[in-house]
Chains A and B, each alone.
Chain A
Amino acid sequence: MVTQITSFGRSGLYDWMMQRVSALVLSFYTVFIIGYLLLNPDLTYDQWSGLFEATWMRIFSLMVLLSIGIHSWIGLWSISTDYIKATGPRFFFQSLCGLAMFVYVVWGVQVIWGL
């Protein structure tokens, strides 16, 4: 058994499952947004902002934001443990990714909830 304290859930199975669940959320959202744009060719600003004001859309978007954070953390963590062998640079890279994801989530919440 390999112990890794920097992986997302510390269990391989948990990370693997979260990677897949978040991928599903991301694909549903992508299909929904593309579908919405195709079905509303004459989209107005009011319609668009109305969509994002609906509570269900805010929940959906927040789920997507968190999914992006989780999905990219697990993916980039895997890449960094594959290719960056020296501990210092690997930890630096992982910290940078963690910081970027945190910033994106907080910023995203600010944008979609209009705080």
Chain B
Amino acid sequence: MLVSIYRYNPEKDDAPYMQDYEIDLPEGKDLMVLDVLNLLKAQDPSISYRRSCREGVCGSDGMNMSGKNGLACITPVSEAVKKGKLILRPLPGLPVVRDLVVDMGQFYKQYEKIRPFLINDAPAPAIERLQSPEEREKLDGLYECILCACCSTACPSFWWNPDKFVGPSGLLQAYRFLADSRDTATQERLSDLDDPFSVFRCHGIMNCVNVCPKGLNPTKAIGNIRTMLLQRAT
């Protein structure tokens, strides 16, 4: 199989380029894209990429596989190959450090902005802050995000305004804390989001939903934030 990989080493290369590799895959086995990368790394040790848990939990190996963002460790080659060729590129929209490794600084900055931690001014109870099963249920589909950045880097609004638009991942997390019955900073959180960029740059094209490797729905969370803002203002 032919694998085309985006190569760029800022210390050596003037510009990025695509490098082709030919690889023999074992018969009757559908490897994951990460396995293919590991095999290629044995062939050419200069190929750089991030990976850690190799089972879709850590979110390190987010990359663009034949045009679609996803985690290399849980994407079967059969799904990623197009016309007999596997094309691997770094996540779009973020600065490339080297080959498939991107600088996630901007992505984390947006995550930091939404204050991803529980804020509660009430004195802490002796044991824990309790939630009813119904209140806890509201966090399902939100807390599972692993911050792999596949969604935000698939979003054109994030490409054009990565410094102003929080992006689908950050907004999913913003709603995770807005929906949490134990959080008391709802009004401040909403005020922080009510500008023309942070939330409202989302035009609902749902690229984020299309690529999320955990099957989450940031567009729905963004809709819920809008509804909360609207309910507060009308």
Chain A residues proximal to chain B, CB less than 8 Å = 1-4, 7, 10-17, 78, 81-83
Contact = CB atoms under 8 A, between A and B. Distances in A.
A2 B197 contact: yes
Contacts, number: 50
B156 to A, nearest CB: 8
Nearest to B229: A13
B146 to A, nearest CB: 27
B196 A2 contact: yes
Interface in B158-198: 160-161, 164, 191-198
Given A13-B230, A16-B200, A17-B230, A3 B195 contact: yes
A56 to B, nearest CB: 27
B199 interface: yes
Given A13-B229, A13-B233, A17-B230, A83 B196 contact: no
A114 B137 CA distance: 61
Interface of B: 157, 160-161, 164, 191-201, 226, 229-230, 233
A1 B196 contact: no
Contacts of B164: 2
B198 A12 contact: yes
**Which 3 pairs show the lowest CB-CB distances between chains A and B?**
A12-B200, A82-B160, A12-B196
Nearest to A79: B160
Contact of A15 (B160, B198, B200, B230): B200
Given A1-B191, A1-B192, A17-B230, A12 B161 contact: no
Given A13-B200, A13-B230, A15-B200, A4 B195 contact: yes
A13 B194 contact: yes
Nearest to A15: B196
Nearest to A82: B160
A78 B233 CA distance: 22
B106 to A, nearest CB: 14
B194 A11 contact: yes
Given A81-B196, A82-B161, 11 more contacts: A2-B196, A4-B195, A7-B196, A10-B196, A11-B196, A12-B199, A12-B229, A13-B194, A13-B200, A16-B226, A17-B230
22 contacts: A1-B191, A1-B198, A2-B164, A2-B195, A2-B196, A2-B198, A4-B196, A10-B196, A11-B194, A11-B195, A12-B193, A12-B229, A13-B194, A13-B226, A13-B229, A15-B196, A15-B200, A17-B230, A78-B196, A81-B161, A81-B196, A82-B161
